[in-house]
């Protein structure tokens, strides 16, 4: 091969190497870009996954808190119902005892006088002047009736009739034209809601 014929061969080889080098550089650039894109996609995917996981964890915590609150509210409701049942039982047991205590107070002369004096004062405060009928137990004495009349004579002019009532073992029931003042144990215990509240306060068992 002559020198003259070698020159084109060398030129073609150089051109081929240059083309190969360009191809390599372009390929490397494409690969590098693809890798950058892949890294960016993976990074975004990981960020999205973390965000979704965080949101899921937050929702799970919220749902757990809601369930805990519902469970606590249910426990509180059940506890209140138990307390109310226990309070109702306590009041149911206490009312007959309270009635017995009132009957015993009526049998005590000093306590009975306080009771009838209080009833007389209530009459003066709540009943209009006029004719009053005082129903009483058969064993309420004439002297006690005079004392009651004296107590009610203060400040009002009323005519009082007395009547022994077979259904009364304790207390007084005073009737006027327009009202009845019931100072018997049954009348004193008639407001069950208020009596129950007083009993529960006294026993320290209000629900």
Q: What is the mean pLDDT of the chain?
A: 81
Instruction: Give per-residue pLDDT as tens, 104-128.
Output: 999 999 999 999 999 999 988 888 8
Q: For residue 16, is pLDDT > 90?
A: no
> Which segments of 145-207 are extended strands (E)?
159-164, 172-175, 180-183
Domains held by the chain: number? 1
> Do residues 197 and 206 make contact, with C-beta atoms less than 8 angstroms apart?
yes
pTM above 0.85, yes or no: no
CATH code, 122: 3.30.2320.30
For residue 70, give its domain range.
1-207
- Who contacts 3 (Cβ-Cβ below 8 Å, separation ≥6)? none
């Amino acid at each position: 091969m002559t020198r003259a014929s070698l020159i084109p061969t060398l030129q073609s080889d150089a051109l081929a190497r240059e083309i190969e080098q360009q191809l390599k550089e372009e390929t490397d650039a494409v690969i590098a870009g693809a890798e950058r894109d892949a890294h960016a996609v993976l990074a975004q995917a990981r960020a999205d996954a973390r965000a979704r996981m965080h949101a899921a964890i937050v929702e799970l915590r919220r749902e757990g808190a809601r369930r805990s609150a519902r469970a606590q509210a249910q426990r509180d409701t059940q506890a209140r119902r138990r307390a109310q049942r226990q309070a109702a039982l306590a009041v149911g047991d206490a009312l007959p005892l309270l009635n017995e205590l009132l009957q015993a107070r009526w049998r005590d002369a000093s306590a009975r006088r306080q009771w009838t004096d209080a009833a007389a004062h209530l009459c003066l405060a709540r009943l209009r002047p006029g004719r009053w009928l005082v129903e009483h137990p058969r064993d309420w004495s004439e002297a006690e009736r005079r004392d009651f009349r004296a107590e009610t004579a203060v400040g009002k002019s009323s005519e009082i009739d007395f009547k022994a009532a077979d259904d009364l073992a304790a207390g007084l029931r005073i009737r006027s034209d327009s009202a009845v003042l019931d100072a018997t144990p049954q009348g004193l215990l008639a407001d069950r809601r208020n009596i129950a509240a007083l009993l529960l306060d006294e026993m320290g068992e209000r629900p």
